[in-house]
Structure 1
């Protein structure tokens, strides 16, 4: 069973002057992570919305149209960078067309062999439902990697225990959670739920997010609040607080940690508690009318 050195980002929303500056900044973060031994790097939700800062302020439907126009370049850029640096890249989420005049908030995970796994955000926030012309995803993608099975739950998705449990039942041992929260309330909702999902399903959760702010307001993305981290069950052989590694709050930086799936197997077999295995689905079946 392989170990995975993973990097997760607190991606800084700083003022940029050109589109090239945006792509160059990402290129540097990926290469730096690869040089430090990372085999995967996780960027946050709505990362490409940083490019909206180069344009006059837009309405949400205009912003979606603009970002969708970058989809081909986005895919080509990350596919080539992943192959060149021999690193898997969860390239945050990107707004792309999903049917007529509807868009998806979709995560893309690029592998160095050219494979791409995607996951549309399944639970849209009230703001995304009301103000954005977005459609929710309706399928959970649990996929194989050389390190084991994984799933991607984007930001608000991690706040729904049923979704993470479904991923775990299908064999996922690592959940990647790209997020965007613009204040401490939103961040702590996502953070505490990420740790809860790690505890109740006895798996790893990796959280990334946007930090910093832009000098000019943009109605879509203008400031972020995050402390990225890699989280574990709160049980042996892990630390009592369930934290493998976290960054410094709101600093533009990358956080690295080694994920040892053997330790997860040890936890599942010999931990003090076994919430994933001690669940009682036959009891819950009778409670469906309450859900």
Structure 2
């Protein structure tokens, strides 16, 4: 399966949700032209909308405004998936959830070409995300698995990929691909997320695709990230566990770079299900 990762440049100015969606469409089209079947945006791709949010809005009011824009973005992303025939995972948007207090979640949306929609809420929030004075979000409550073209996938959002307890749950799910949208303001944060993503490929004998946003929008920290495809560190897949990567950067040209690669998901699945890893014992529980 060929997958595209968009390391979104938040510094590239946009004046509306539609202008942002036009920028996103250019990336979806480029991915489609390259033969990709999936495109992944970074966590908080919605932070790009801070270019046109009033500067007077801070903290929870700022995030609530972004959430108000989400419905328009969701409608446009759904149409792009159908138009270009790709699975579009549009990073994450803040979304209102009336059953929770606080009533906002950090949600990833997976838009399928057949019109289906799958979602994943971030499960473990950073101190900034939880702080009532800042973005004041609620954590998600469920880890979801979805299938596309016969492959089992999960979206694991940024900090969630760093958590051993969640990794143990992932090990029971027979996943072919883990998609990791992220947002990190420090090089240390980038390395935590991407190092753990690489470890999950080894631990779970699965492919992992990770991408983050670059630079910053107004009222947003300067972000640093890149994009990587990780495979099990097995001789068959090139020994290192790294298929391809864009090095982390605080700056980017234009809308940000796109990394596209073919992932050997069939071979990885055969190795995992057939017990053919060099030393991998399967989903070992340590009990």
* TM-score > 0.5 by shorter chain: yes
Query: Which residue among 261, 267, 271 is the counterpart of 1:267?
Result: 271
Contact kept in structure 2, 1:6 and 1:259, CA below 8 Å = yes
CA spacing shift, 1:103–1:83, aligned 2, 3 Å: same
- Equivalent positions of 1:79-94 (< 5 A) are 79-94=78-93
1:92 and 1:274 map into 2 onto residues whose CA distance is 32
Contact kept in structure 2, 1:142 and 1:167, CA below 8 Å = no
2:45 aligned with 1:47: yes
CA spacing shift, 1:133–1:5, aligned 2, 3 Å: same
Post-superposition CA distance 1:201-236 (Å, at most 9, x none)? 11111101101234x4x1xx3321112111011112
Give the TM-score normalised by the residue count of structure 2: 0.90
Gaps of 5+ in 2: none
Task: Compute the RMSD of aligned alpha carbons.
Answer: 1.6
- 2:25 alignment counterpart: 27
Post-superposition CA distance 1:55-79 (Å, at most 9, x none)? 2332121112111111221111001
2:281 and 2:195 map into 1 onto residues whose CA distance is 17
- 2:9 alignment counterpart: 12
> Which shows bigger deviation, 253-262 or 89-98?
253-262
Contact kept in structure 1, 2:102 and 2:138, CA below 8 Å = no
1:135 and 1:245 map into 2 onto residues whose CA distance is 34
- How far does residue 17 in structure 1 lie from its aligned partner after superposition? 4.5
1:163 and 1:142 map into 2 onto residues whose CA distance is 13
Determine helix, strand or coil for the equivalent of 1:270: coil
Give the TM-score normalised by the residue count of structure 1: 0.89
- Equivalent positions of 1:23-172 (< 5 A) are 23-57=21-55, 58-99=57-98, 101-130=102-131, 131-172=134-175
- How far does residue 101 in structure 1 lie from its aligned partner after superposition? 4.9
Determine helix, strand or coil for the equivalent of 2:226: coil
- How far does residue 164 in structure 1 lie from its aligned partner after superposition? 3.0
The number of residue pairs the alignment matches comes to: 274
Contact kept in structure 1, 2:206 and 2:269, CA below 8 Å = no
CA spacing shift, 1:275–1:8, aligned 2, 3 Å: farther
Contact kept in structure 1, 2:53 and 2:62, CA below 8 Å = no
Contact kept in structure 2, 1:200 and 1:275, CA below 8 Å = no
CA spacing shift, 1:37–1:135, aligned 2, 3 Å: same
CA spacing shift, 1:174–1:39, aligned 2, 3 Å: same
1:48 and 1:21 map into 2 onto residues whose CA distance is 12
Structure 1: which 4+ aligned runs deviate by more than 3 Å? Answer: none
- How far does residue 187 in structure 1 lie from its aligned partner after superposition? 0.2
